[in-house]
Amino acid sequence: MVGTKITNIRTSKEIDIKTLAERSGLSENQIESIEKNEIIPSLCPLIKIARALGVRIGTFMDDDDNIGPVVSRKGEVSKGLSFSNNEDNCRTAMNYLTLAGNKSGRHMEPFIIEIESGDQGHKLSQHEGEEFIYVLEGDIEVEYGMKKYELKQGDSIYYDSIIEHHVHTLGDTNAKILAVVHIPA
């Protein structure tokens, strides 16, 4: 679980929760809840924690350290993490399937993301870096700053993730996307 990995990294670096909270800008209670796996954090707090710990966000999903190429075969991709924005009345999860969890030292995070449908509210997020999204199945909407972009199967979008954004389904059908996230070191 991601919380256990965060705890292990934090303690190995001899960082207490108070210091991690100060460095990340998150509350001590939020970090404690994440570390106890009581809440599923959104991508934004995980990025803040990764930066504060001096690791890549992918470190929370890594299984092995492979310096050579990593091949992900059809049917062998396993669930990495599910993220929630932890807001009341909001969509509860996006399921992230990591495509390069065994690749050490990577600078990009490639995922297949299963987005559950639902007519629930959402909260925009922002973080350093860039994102590329390619729609594999279904229809999605990307809210980006003041604009909204509707994307269908085969469409793609590339954007700076420092601008507030949110990705969600359109209609009552789930969607699946290929997302590549780059977060500068």
Residues 128, 47 contacting (CB under 8 angstroms): yes
pLDDT at residue 92 is higher than 70: no
pLDDT at residue 71 is higher than 50: yes
Which of 2-16, 31-45, 95-109 has the weakest average pLDDT? Answer: 95-109
**Which residues, other chains included, contact 155 with Cβ-Cβ below 8 Å and sequence gap of 6+?**
134, 135
Q: What are the φ and ψ backbone dihedral angles of 61, each rounded to 5 degrees?
A: -115, -10
Measured CA to CA, the distance from residue 24 to residue 69 in angstroms comes to 32
Partners of 137 in beta bridges: 176
Helices 2-12 and 43-53 pack at an angle, to 10 degrees, of 20
pLDDT digits 0-9 by tens, 108-152: 888 898 988 875 667 888 888 899 999 999 999 999 999 999 999
